[in-house]
Chains A and B, each alone.
Chain A
Amino acid sequence: MTDKVGVCIATSGPGATNLITGIADAMLDSIPVVCITGQVANPLIGTDAFQEADIIGMTIPITKWNYQITDPKEIPHILAKAFHVAKNGRPGPVLIDVTKDAQFGEFDFDPEQLKGFSYNTPVVCESDLSKAAHLINQAKRPYILAGHGITIANAEAALAEFATKTGIPVACTLHGLSSITMDHPLYVGMLGMHGNYGSNVLTNEADLIIALGMRFDDRVTGNLNTYAKNAKIIHIDIDKAELNKNIQTNVAIHGDAKEVLTELINHVAPNNHASWINKFKDYYSLEHETVMHYQVTPQPGHKIKMAEVIDKLSRKTKGNAVIVSDVGQHQMIAARYYQFRNPRSHITSGGLGTMGFALPAAIGAKIAAPDREVIAVIGDGGFQMNIQELAVLAQEGLKVKILILNNEYLGMVRQWQELFFEERYSFTSLVNPDFVKIAQAYSIPAMRVSDDSELNKALDTMLDTDSSFLLEVMVEKQGKVFPMVPAGCGVGEIRLS
C-alpha cells in the first residue's frame, strides 16, 4: 500500500509460530516487514522453557534475515539493520527475536548506533542499456510484461512514458495489476493461468519480451518448454537471482525498475506497433464475446455471477478503490474484472496464495491509506480462515468494506475437481455459518443478497455506509473461471471454456 516497512510484534512460542504463514507470504511477494518476537530469557534458552520456540531456526528459509538479541545494547543497531534489510534491494521480511532479559535490560542509547546503513541501487552499465535499446528499436512485435517490481520501485510513470514512447503493448502479472491504468491504450491485459486470452497467446508470437520487475513465475509462463520461443528476452530485475532463473535472457539488467526505465527511455526511438496491437484487440474481442460478456450480463432465472458483482463494483467506484482479494476464484475474477485506474490498488497473496490473507491485509491497507476506499473481496472458504480479524475492524472502527462472494464451495478447488478429476468432488462443498449474523455480532452492519434485482442497491448500501460493512452475495455455485491455462500446458494452450 505504501513503500514503508510494516511491523508486527508477537509473543514468544505460539505467538511467534503463528507468524510463519504471514512471513512466508511476505517472502514470496517481496513485502518489507520487520517481525519482532519475544523469546524466553537467555539462561532458559535450550531448556524447553515455557513458550520457548526456536523461531530463528524456523524462519531462516522464509526471511531475508533474522537475528536473536540477547543483549539490550544491540537493540538500536540491530533494529536499524532490520529495517535496512527489509526495505532495500528486493524487499522482504526480517525477524528479530528478543529474549526477555534483553527486553527488560537497560542501556545508554546513542543515536550513532542507528547509523552505518546506506543503500545504493545497482549500477547499470551503459552497454547493457544500448544492447537493450538496440533490440527494442529493431523489434517488430515487442511486448512488455510488467510485474510487482514496477510498484515496488514507484516506476508507474516511467513505465507509462516508456510504453507510450515506444508504442509497445503492456501486460501485467497478477502483482503488476494497477501499475498502469487499464484505460491506457497500450494496456493489453493480465498474464497467467487465468489472465486474458490475447496477452497469453501472443507471448508466443512476440519477437521481443521486455520483462520489468517480474520473475517468470510458473503461473505466468505455464510450460517453459513452449514459452515465448520466438522472442528475445530483456529481463530487468532488482534481484540478480531472478535473472536467467526460469528463462534464458538476451540482455539481463540487474537494477531498479524506475532507474533502468528512466535511462532506457533516452536510448529508444519513438515507434508505434499498430498492427501488432490490433492482434491483441482481436483476441480481446474474441474473449469478450465468448467469456466476459456472458459473465457480466445478468441472466434471468440464473444466480448472480462473481464477474457481474466485480464489474458493477468497478463501475460504481470508477476503478478508484483498493481491492484486496483473498485466494480462489473470486481472486481471479476480481483481478480480471476490476478496472484499476490508480497505482497501488490491487493487493493479494500471489506467490504463496494464502487463503485468509484478505481480511487482515485490508485492515492494514486501510490503516496505511485511510482516505482510500478499501474493499476486501473474499470467498466463503477463505473468510473463515481469519474471520477473527473482524474484532480488529470493530475495535479500531476502520471503514473497510467486505464483499463475500459465497458459492458455498471451495470454488477454485471444485473447478479443478470438475475439470481435471472427473467431477470427483472431495471436501470442497461447504456448510457455512450465517456470515451476516457473525458480522452483526461484532457490530459491523451487514446484509446478504441472492437476487440480481437487489444487487445494485446492496452494493450502493455497502459503498454509502460510513463505517465498515459486510455484504454477502450468494453467487452461482458451480461457476468456473475462464480463460484458463491448464497446469503443465503452454500459454498457447489457454482454454476459453
Chain B
Amino acid sequence: MNMYVISIITQNTLNVLQRVAGMFSRYRINIEHINISRHTEELSYWNVVIYSEDDRIELLTKQLNKIIELVDIKIIDKVPMSGQFEGASA
C-alpha cells in the first residue's frame, strides 16, 4: 500500500468531476483528499490523494487518460505506507 499524490489537468466542464471521480470509485479507490480549482476559464487543476498499489494506479491512470476532457495526469508523489495504513482504502 502506498500513498499517491496525483495531479490532474482537465477541461473546466460540467460533468468532468463525476467522470473522473467515477473512475476512482469504479476501481474501488477511496479519495482521501481532493482539491479542484479553476486555473483558466478553460482548465481546472486537480490535486488528489489516494492509497493504492502500483499496478492498480497504472490501470487507473490509463483509464483516466481516455477521458476526453482530461488534459494531463501525473503521479507527483508516492509514499510507501507501513502496515498500520493497510486497509485505509478498500
* A residues at B contact (CB < 8 Å): 56-57, 60-61, 64-66, 68, 85, 239-241, 244-245
User: Cβ of B14 and Cβ of A60 under 8 Å apart?
Assistant: no
Please report the C-alpha to C-alpha distance between residue A61 and residue B66 in the assembled complex, in whole angstroms. 12
B88 close to A (CB within 8 Å) = no
Indicate if the CB atoms of B59 and A57 lie closer than 8 Å.
Answer: no
Task: A135 to B63: give the CA distance in the assembly, Å.
Answer: 29
Query: Can you spell out 26 A-B residue pairs with CB atoms less than 8 angstroms apart?
Result: A56-B15, A57-B15, A57-B18, A60-B15, A60-B18, A60-B19, A60-B22, A61-B22, A61-B26, A64-B66, A64-B68, A65-B68, A66-B15, A68-B14, A85-B68, A239-B66, A240-B62, A240-B65, A241-B59, A241-B62, A241-B63, A241-B65, A241-B66, A244-B58, A245-B59, A245-B62
A64–B68 Cα distance when bound, in Å, is: 8
The residue on B at minimum CB distance from A243 is: B62
* Beyond known contacts A57-B15, A60-B18, A61-B22: 12 more, CB 8 A cutoff: A60-B15, A64-B68, A65-B68, A66-B15, A240-B62, A240-B65, A241-B59, A241-B62, A241-B65, A241-B66, A244-B58, A245-B62
- Identify the interface centre among B14, B18, B63, B66: most chain A CB within 10 Å of its CB: B66
Of chain A, the residue at the smallest CB distance from B67 is A65
In angstroms, how far is the closest chain A Cβ from the Cβ of B27? 11
For the complex, what is the distance from the CA of A475 to the CA of B65, rounded to whole Å? 48
| Residue among B14, B22, B62 with the highest chain A CB neighbour number at 10 A | B62
Bound Cα distance A61, B63 (Å)? 11
CA distance A241 to B22 in the complex (A): 17
Q: Which label, helix, strand, loop or mixed, suits the secondary structure of the B interface? A: helix
A68 CA to B19 CA in the complex, in Å?
A: 14
Residues of chain A contacted by B66 (CB below 8 angstroms):
64, 239, 241
**Interface of B toward A, CB cutoff 8 Å:** 14-15, 18-19, 22, 26, 58-59, 62-63, 65-66, 68
Q: What are the 5 A-B residue pairs with the smallest beta carbon separation, nearest first?
A: A241-B62, A65-B68, A241-B63, A60-B19, A60-B22
Docked Cα-Cα span, A64 to B69, in Å, equals 11
* CA gap between A241 and B59 in the complex, in Å: 6
Q: How far is the CA of A336 from the CA of B65 in the complex (A)?
A: 37
- With CB as the reference atom, state the residue of chain B lying closest to A66: B15
CA separation between A239 and B65, bound complex, in Å?
11
CB closest residue in chain B, given A67: B15
- Closest A-chain residue to B63, C-beta based? A241
In whole angstroms, how far apart are the Cα atoms of A244 and B54 in the complex?
A: 12
Per the bound structure, the CA–CA distance linking A56 and B16 in Å amounts to 11
A245 to B27, CA, bound (A): 13
- Cα–Cα, bound, A66→B68 (Å): 9
CA distance A391 to B47 in the complex (A): 53
User: Closest residue to A61 on the B side, CB-wise?
Assistant: B22
A240 to B58, CA, bound (A): 11
CA distance A56 to B18 in the complex (A): 10
Closest to B55 in A: A244
Q: How far is the CB of A27 from chain B (nearest CB, A)?
A: 11
B14 shortest CB reach to chain A, Å: 7
Which A residue sits closest to B20, measured CB to CB? A60
Considering the chains assembled together, what is the distance between the CA atoms of A394 and B74 in angstroms? 55
Report how far A68 CA is from B13 CA in the complex, Å: 11
Contacts of B18 in A (CB 8 A): 57, 60
Name the residue in B14, B18, B22, B68 with the highest tally of chain A Cβ atoms < 10 Å from its Cβ: B68
